[in-house]
Structure 1
Amino acid sequence: MGITQILFWVLTVAALFSAIMVVSSKNPVHSVLWLVATFFAISGHYILLNAQFLAIVNIIVYAGAIMVLFLFVIMLMNLNKSTEPVKHKWLQIIGILSGGCLLLVIVAALRNTEVSQHMVEMSTGEAGLIKNLGRELFTTFVVPFEISSILFLSAMVGAVVIGKKD
């Protein structure tokens, strides 16, 4: 068993544990912090698959910007037990039953699928490197890239004009 497989299993256990803690945590701030840990474990998987760009974007965008936004929203809402609405037991039972039905549907859908016995080639090739992404982006897709940048610029100017006070 190589170091890559050991890292894969460690990251998998970390991602699964932190994802379970996201759902089962009572405190919303702790739930967000566990979600950040999940994103870091997933970024580790991206690095093992030689997709460094996806790993960095995942850390910057999701673990950085989105989670800071979630924390601000949670802190601004000032969630506590006194403002929490009363939940009935029958709602919890219905939630458990619907989750079980969803699990049965997923198992039934995946029951007849063929699992490939091929191993993924890790840390080989240049499939996930930023150099290849940049080459494709600025040669093959340069016109759609520039059109989208003009669209984003006009949306930003429009948002500033709409938000400007008279």
Structure 2
Amino acid sequence: MQFWYFLTALTLLSALMVVLSKNPIHSVLYLVFTFFCISGHYVLLNAQFLMAVNIIVYAGAIMVLFLFVIMMLDLRRNMPDSKSNLTKLAGAILGGTLLVILVAVMRKTQFPQFSQMGGKFDTQTGMVENLGQVLFRDYLLPFELVSILFFVAMVGAVMLGKREAGERNF
């Protein structure tokens, strides 16, 4: 349990550093560290598949892409003007209001205890084999429909990209 508190504090600190860091490359690196901390939480929750997907997809592919784009941009030349004090004050008020609303909602919400949920603890819940069984047994039709949707979106993006490239040649 103490490791969970340590990992949570580390996650919150690194997420705060993402926002507070002035250097965008440092922000991306803090975000990668935040994703690794979240993956540690997935391990503690016995969700190894989510941990692996989080590391491979988010910390690996997407963050490398973000870092590549940031390094390709010349940020020193394209520095935006500093925000006015009114904009900073409005952002602080909106953020504080959202925090108060979230705390109020969490205080009013009744979370069921594990004994009231009527289930027993299963150590194999987050394993890949069980996830595959549920996915292909109970959710086969939605899974296949989503794959068709992704395929159509990919073909559409290729066709739009080809059409734009063809229009430039004329």
Q: Where on the TM-score scale, by shorter chain, does this alignment land: which range?
A: 0.7 to 0.9
Matched, 1:59 2:34: no
What amino acid maps onto 1:161 in structure 2?
M
Partner of 2:21: 25
Matched, 1:95 2:91: yes
CA separation in 2, counterparts of 1:90 and 1:112? 33
Partner of 1:138: 136
C-alpha RMSD of matched pairs (Å):
2.4
CA contact (8 A) 1:19 1:38 kept: yes
Identity of aligned residues (%): 53
TM-score, length basis structure 2:
0.80
Partner of 2:126: 128
Partner of 1:153: 151
TM-score, length basis structure 1:
0.82
- Superposition map of 1:35-114 within 5 A: 35-80=31-76, 83-114=79-110
Q: What's the CA shift for 1:81?
A: 7.2
CA separation in 2, counterparts of 1:57 and 1:82? 35
- Structure 2 unaligned spans of 5+: 116-120
Q: What's the CA shift for 1:91?
A: 1.7
Q: Secondary structure at the match of 1:9?
A: helix
Partner of 2:118: none
Partner of 1:16: 12
The answer to which structure, 1 or 2, has the higher relative contact order (CA under 8 A, 6+ apart) is 1
What amino acid maps onto 2:124 in structure 1?
E
What amino acid maps onto 2:153 in structure 1?
A
List per-residue Cα deviations over 1:29-81 (Å, max 9, x = no partner): 10111011111001001011110000111111111111122112222332227
What amino acid maps onto 1:77 in structure 2?
L
What amino acid maps onto 1:129 in structure 2?
M
